[in-house]
Structure 1
Amino acid sequence: MTLPTLHTLKNGVRVVCDPMPGLETLALTVVAGRGAGYEDPARSGWSHLLEHMVFKGAGGRSARDIVEVIEAEGGSINAATGYERTSFQVRALKGGAGLAMAVIADLVRRPTLDAGDLAREKQVVAQEIAEAADAPDDYVFDLLQKGAWGDHPVGRPILGTVDSVEAATPQALAEWRAALYAADRLVISATGAVDEAEILALAQSAFGDLPATPGAPIPDPAPFVGGAFAETRKLEQAHLVLMLPAAGSRDDDYFALRVFAEALGGGMSSRLFQEAREKRGLAYNIDAYADTYADIGGLGIYVGCAAKDAAETARVCAEQVLALVERIEPAELARCKAQLKAHMFMAREQPLARAEQNAGQALTFGKLFPPAELAAGVDAVTAEDITRLGRRMLDPARAATAVLGAKTALSAGEIFRRTLFDGR
């Protein structure tokens, strides 16, 4: 089996090459290990705005040219901004690595940042902000983010605000681009029908002369502050997001958190699905998830239910958390491990997901993990680990809750807290 390799150029740019024999396509992603979590309030939303702006023109190509030159060869191009990283991604047919690298290098290094384009794109982003506010199952997560992480950059929406986005100028965005996409936290990751020697040569040609200057400094990890947000809206459903402080990707409890979330609400056999949906009929959508960053994380629960059932559903969620902290059955633990490993290996069969995973490992750990090592981490989780992690999450008696819906739903966050903590 061919294993991925990790190389570092002289200027600090890292290159991951991960061939997948038998494929006729490839994925190339260039990941800058900085994002919205690095912004101060005045630049809130600028990382996302910049990601939009580089597609308006770069390296002498127009916005249309950037897309057409990739699609003319059967490929596709996309980008994404998160709190800890910004990714530029191309899927292409075998042999398309050179064009993909050239186009992404132009986006990252040589965007036009035209004033007229910026004025128009501010309007587009303002509409995106309005759309997110109008979508309750998006907006409730923004409320939750604020409740969990407070005034830290991770507590602010990735999109920013209309005012903060409006303040951006071409020159200010150019300076932010240099800080955001600096060589010290840039990873080029290629997967699929790729050749290691070719990828290294392309990376050196496209990024080897990038100045080795440090970019925006890594912010201190966000403390989990815990907070409650509830807003009345005329909706058919109430939307609830409930979170407890947990573990980050570099934490020894990371795998225990993933198993805990899987057991609580990861699938149709999970406790929340069986108790809240199948047994009680309280909710159609209900799941639990591990929301992890490098050094911080949370255990989250999302529920969409009738407003009249919101408080009872929140109580059931808290009860299931408490019950899981006390005991996980051996068969349940084994099933959750099997599910996690299946998700992991299935993702490894998708070139783009694999390229992004490799880039994330290089950024967070400075190395790559063989799938067998990750699987061993999952297998090593014990029932005692689940209990210890659960008590750790409950120990500060802090939770973040966000509720959106009719007035009858707004007590759900308080019910969740009271059920979890008042008996302690």
Structure 2
Amino acid sequence: METPYFQLHRHTLANGMRVWCIPRPNTGTVAMMTQLPVGSRTENKHNNGISHFLEHMVFTGTERWAESEVTDVVRRRGGEVNAHTSRESTNFHIHVAAHDAEFGLDWLHQLVFKPTLLPEKFEKERQVIINEKGGEFDLLQTVWEWIEDHNWGWHVARAIRRRIYPDSSLLLSIIGRDKTLNAITHQELVSYYRRYYVPNNVTLIVVGDIEPQAAFELAEKTFGNIPARPFPVTHPPVRVVPNTFDVRLYGPSPNEQGQLLVGVLLDYAEHPDRFGWWIIEEILENACMRDIRFELGLTYGVNVFTVLYTDTGYFCVYTSANIEDFERIRQIIEKHLNRLVNGDFTAEELSEAQASLRGRALLNLQDNMELAWWLSTDALASRDDSTPIPDYFAEISRLTPDEVKRIAGHYFAPQKRFYVEHRPVVTPRRLKPLAAVAAFGMLSAAVRLSFRPRHRAR
């Protein structure tokens, strides 16, 4: 990937570990990240939460550092570290001064390939994770999911995933359930680690004030002697049901508003049409905000976004508003979607969307770690280093009105849309009559009790 702003260099070690480097001279820092394509999607209903559990456990000590030292050795150098588990990946990252680049790679090596995973730390960390998720509430969660499954909840995103990815590991919780977290054994966690934490399943991303050749040599020195091993498929195939639906959810709301979502099914994260999806996202949000928020004041905001995985994805237009305004808002969203499908948008709208996407990307990518995260999405989706990584800025700029119309017509046609509306049947306003009746009943009971004859004790 070459752009006017940065250039990607790629190299693969003899053990299969990929190294991606973007040099940024004179920035003074280096951001480094190891990415494994292992997340809740890799799991099943019996070990759900084990990827995130393992992310926690590697911080409990390495061959060189005790638990209290793992992050402290970085803090003393002024660096920053963290880790993140998602549905499709686990990432460990460190951001340090450029002169500490070798130390940063050594820290990642210790964390990813030399954790002790001590049995005596296991139960403690299990409790930490249960506390992180807010305590144990499996029974309540099971009841609530039954309520959601029967359309009496309010979780619109879950309603979408249940219908387009039925019986998929994409429906699993990233942090896990009480039942599965309590069932995972130390041996299962160690086996999971040995199965997936192998160099040929890792991409090392290096961004900052370092030359690519120096980064490759340091990577070879640090990771090159770790032997490769076979590993299972990390992302099981997803059964996608490309149906349209119009769902109503009736769960309670703390105010008088419900939620409205219009969406379509998309393709995989690295699909060539993705740049068009982002242009459509920008044009659509600008138009909906103008008509729904600024002209009519029907909502505070309209969010348009894509959710992309390595082999599937979907597109959403979301807002929350008073229920009586839903039909009007939905008509406006439909109007602008149809404009895009028919090519009835202006050259100015396209130009503004392109400028906005380019400018926002440049602002976000000023930080080396932000650029490393940006690069990690390509690394996750593109497992073949012989495939070129497109220049984001050039791809956004090259889109023509005809190309945007083609993409909109293919994905956003009326017959391909789905809808989810949260129309709460219980709101504060609707509870007022019931509250008044209850208050009157309690007051009447209190009055009767106050005039009740009192008997002397015998």
Same-fold status (TM-score > 0.5):
yes
Counterpart in the other structure of 1:46? 50
Aligned residue among 407, 411, 415 for 1:393? 411
SS of residue in 1 equivalent to 2:59: helix
Q: CA deviation at 1:288?
A: 0.4
Kindly report the root-mean-square deviation, in angstroms, between the aligned alpha carbons of the 2 structures: 3.1
Please tell me whether residue 296 in structure 1 is matched to residue 316 in structure 2: no
The equivalent of 1:250 in structure 2 is 270
Give the Å deviation of 1:230.
Answer: 2.5
**Is the 2:30–2:98 Cα contact (8 Å) retained in structure 1?**
yes
Percent identity reads 22
- Does the CA contact (< 8 Å) of 1:35 and 1:86 recur in 2? yes
Partner of 1:420: none
Equivalent residue, structure 2, for 1:418: none
Q: Which runs of 5+ in 2 are unaligned?
A: 145-153, 428-458
Q: Secondary structure at the match of 1:271?
A: helix
Q: Contact between 2:378 and 2:389, CA under 8 Å: does it hold in 1?
A: no
Residue 76 (structure 2) aligns with: 72
Q: What is the CA distance between 1:86 and its match in structure 2?
A: 1.4
State the shift of 1:314 in Å. Answer: 4.0
**Bigger mean CA offset, 67-76 vs 196-205:** 196-205
CA contact (8 A) 1:51 1:79 kept: yes
Task: Provide the aligned length of Structure 1 versus Structure 2.
Answer: 402
Distance (Å, rounded) in 1 between the aligned partners of 2:98 and 2:341: 49
Q: Which of 355, 368, 389 lines up with 1:351 in the alignment?
A: 368
Which deviates more, 294-303 or 116-125? Answer: 116-125
Instruction: Give, in angstroms, the shift of residue 370 of structure 1.
Output: 7.2
Say which of 222, 231, 256 aligns to 1:215.
231
1:49–1:308 CA distance, 2 compared to 1 (3 A): farther
CA 1:99–1:143 in structure 2 vs 1: closer, same or farther (change >3 Å)? farther
Matched residue type, 1:385: E
- Partner in structure 1 of residue 251 of structure 2: 232
Larger radius of gyration: 2
In the alignment, the residues of structure 1 paired with residue 120 and residue 25 of structure 2 have an alpha-carbon distance, to the nearest angstrom, of 46
Alignment of 1:317-332 (within 5 A): 317-326=333-342, 327-332=344-349
Give the TM-score, by structure 1 length: 0.84
Where structure 1 has 5 or more consecutive residues not aligned to the other structure, the ranges are 410-424
The one-letter code of the counterpart of 1:145 is R
Of 99, 109, 112, the match for 2:116: 112
Closer, same or farther: CA 333–222 of 1 in aligned 2, 3 Å: farther
Q: Which amino acid aligns with 1:351?
A: N
- After TM superposition, which residue ranges in structure 1, 4 or more long, deviate above 6 angstroms? 131-134
1:78 deviates by 0.9
Counterpart residue number, 2:147: none
1:259 aligns with 2:279: yes
Residue 26 of structure 1: SS of its match in structure 2? strand
In the TM superposition, what is the alpha-carbon distance from 1:405 to its structure 2 partner? 6.8
| 2:94 is equivalent to residue 90 of structure 1 | yes
Deviation at 1:343, TM superposition (A): 2.6
- What's the CA shift for 1:126? 3.1
Contact 2:35 2:376 in 1 (8 A): yes
| Whole-angstrom distance in 2 between the partners of 1:169 and 1:27 | 34
In the alignment, the residues of structure 1 paired with residue 248 and residue 71 of structure 2 have an alpha-carbon distance, to the nearest angstrom, of 41
AA at the equivalent of 1:84: E
TM-score (norm 2): 0.78
Comparing 255-264 with 381-390, greater Cα deviation is found at 381-390
**Structure 1 residue matching 2:99: 3-state secondary structure:** coil
Residue by residue over 1:12-55, the C-alpha shift from the partner in whole angstroms, topping out at 9 and shown as x without a partner, is: 10112222111111111111123222222222222122212222
